[in-house]
Every structure is written in structure tokens, then in C-alpha cells.
Structure 1
Amino acid sequence: MTDVSEGPAWRQRAVERSIRAVRQRAEQRVQRFLDTAQELIAEKGTTDFTVQEIVDRSEQSLRSFYQHFDGKHELLLALFEDALATSAARIREAAAAEPEPIQRLKVAVEMLYESSRPDPDVQRPLFNDFALQLLVKHPAEVTAAHVPLLTLFTELIEDAAKEGTISSDRPRRLAALVMQTTMFTAQANGAAIAGHTTPVTAEEVWRFCIGGISDRPAKSRPARKK
């Protein structure tokens, strides 16, 4: 029996079409705010700008801005999340080109390391400034923003574990440990540690990570030649 409360089909189509149009306009306004913020970051080399600057540059209203964002913090968080999602997609695509699971994981670790390293010639205030503030004040938001990367690394570790290459115990936790080791090592790269100033390489980070999550006992690995 037809539920008459839903109304005729033509009415439903008209409402759905209207909703799609409203959603599309909203998405376009949001994207203009995001693009404008990116422009300001690129020009200033910092996230130190005001909401009014974003509104004026985007030629939209302050009312429209606050319809979509609670404030500047939420706007920057959106940019941060987008950047991490884009990075995860890029790493996933590169890793997929490798035939072996362990090689896919290696590619992912090395790419994450290289993309996390500070570059003196490239200003990255969204990661160097804003991300540090997030980590201190809003750790839950940092965790949520890294979900695409964490999901990717968990999948790669699960695939490698199926072949018995690495430990199959709590792959999501292992993924988090590998990511944290890789990113924090990259961000500290170049700092003098115990008198060693030679930068750590992506290959060294990979060997360290695989050594920590390998399912083989350390004594079974051949000694490195000096």
C-alpha cells in the first residue's frame, strides 16, 4: 500500500531538485572561502589573517561565512583535513603500483616521511604553525584529520601481515606507531641529536619501522656488513 504522506512523485522530484541546487550553491561558497584562505596563506606565508580579509577577498558576506564555519579555526581545520586527505590519496596511488604488499608499505612510509620533512625553501604554515597549535589544544581534531592516512596504513599493514611478513597483532595500532615515528622523525630532521647532524633518510626510517613491526625475531636477520 502506497504511503500517501510522502506525496506524489512529481512533488518529491521537485523537492530533491531544489535541495540539490541549494547544496551545490553552498558547496561553491564554501570552496570560494577555502580557495581564498589558501591564497592568503600563500601570499602572507602565515595563517595570521582575519575572517574579514577572507570575506572581502572572496567577495562574499560575513553572514555567509558564519553560516558555513564557526570561525577561522574551523576554516583552517578544513584546509588541514583536505591536505591530509589529498596526501593519503597520493600515497595510496603510488603504493598501488607496487606488486608486493611489503613494497607498498615501504613506498607509503618513505612518501609520508618526505612529505612531512620541513623544507626551508617552502613555507607550510598550515602544518608548521596551525598543526602544532591543534596538537596542543585540540588533539581529538588532529586524530580525526589523520583518519584517511591511518586507514591507508592500516590496510597496508593488514595486507603485509596476511603474507606473514610483519606482525598481524593490532594492525591499526601498528599503523599509528609507524605514522607517528615517520612524521615526528621527519619534522625533527636536521636537528643535532647526540652530536649527529647528518639528516636521517627515508630509507633509515623504513628500516627502523619494519624492524619494529616485523614478525621475524631479530636474531634471524642477517647482520649488516660494515
Structure 2
Amino acid sequence: MKQINHYIDSTFYHQDTLLEDVISSIEENGMPSISVSPSSGKFLTMLVSISGAKKILEIGALGGYSGICLARGFGSEGNLTSLELEGKYAKLAASNLSKAGFSQQVTYMTGPALQSLATLAEDKKRFDFFFIDADKDNYENYLNYCLSLAEEGALIVTDNVLAGGSVADQSAKNKRYTEIMKKFNKTVANHPQLESILIPIGDGITISKVKIKE
């Protein structure tokens, strides 16, 4: 898996000074180095662009790497709402999104994501694209909220679903959330409201399309 990802990143990734500066800012601030891979970030940009999404909800901002990738997909016409537990992380993400030229198009909500999601639901907000990359224990809870906030045909994209390959490879070292990811993958694969597929890029990404009611 590492060899495949290295091949993809080395072949399809081109130098991106802005995103490299984001990675440096995350390290300089002592934050965990858990941003999406370069190819996963490029994939997010393409998904947003291809889908034409303009109202994106991101669960887990960290330093803004994935936020920039998502915003690049909608250019000057979309808006990103990003949920982040840590205020200092959200502050760095906002700074990095501003440097990328998206300061007027991104809103941060800090604190536990489930509380922020409840607020968005109460306000009857609707989104056409979701990216989940936060605490794994709540992935199914996040999924359920996304479904309640989703417009028909919306995409729900989720990161780290391969758990370092441990969901499929018995020789891979299990992570704390390996079983959680196995269960989550089965949930999205068999959910009556979703059409889903898993893409083995980065640490694995599921793409789920909310079915249009007939």
C-alpha cells in the first residue's frame, strides 16, 4: 500500500508551494501530521470540481490543508463550513485559507463537532458536499448528521477508511479504530440512502452519493 501511494504521489503530484507551507505551519505549531496525502488532496479538488458542489461541510479542519483542496474545487463561487474541535487549529486553518485567497468563503465552527452539527441541523442548513476526517469513534454519528443535512445527490467523502490497510490485510498492524472502520465501510456500502465505493488512495477514501428520491 505504501509503495502504491508513493508511486501515485510521485507520479501525479506537482510542487505546490502553498500546500507545502501549510504542512510546515502544522509542524511548526506542534500539531499532528495527519493531513490528507497530496494525491488525496488533489482528488478532493477534482471531486468538488466534477460534482459542481458549492456548499461544502468539512468535519475536521486541522491546519487547513484539506480545506484549501476543497475550496480550490469550487473556486470563487462556493462556500466552506469547517468544524474543528480545537480553537488554535481552526485559527491556523483560517490563516492558511486566507493566504490561499478564500478568507471570504470559509466559516469555522469550533468545539465538539456533534454540537456544531446539531446547530446546523436546527438552522436547517443544507450542503451538497461533505468531507469527514475527524475522530473515528463518531464517524457513524457524523454520517447520520450529514444525511440529515444533505441535499439530494450530495456527496459524502470520508478519509482513513482503510486504517493503514488493516481493514483488509491481516498482516498489517491493527489501529485502535480498525474495527470501527470495518463497521463503517459496511454501513456505507449497504446504506439504503447511499451509493458508495471505496477508493484505495492515501489511507482510503469512501465516496457516497445520496440517492435522489424517486
Tell me which interval the TM-score lies in, with the shorter structure as reference length.
Answer: under 0.3
Structure showing greater radius of gyration is: 1
Normalized against structure 2, the TM-score is what? 0.24
TM-score by length of 1: 0.23
Instruction: Please identify which structure carries the higher helix content.
Output: 1
- In terms of fraction of residues, the more strand-rich structure is 2
Structure scoring higher RCO (CA < 8 A, sep ≥ 6) equals 1
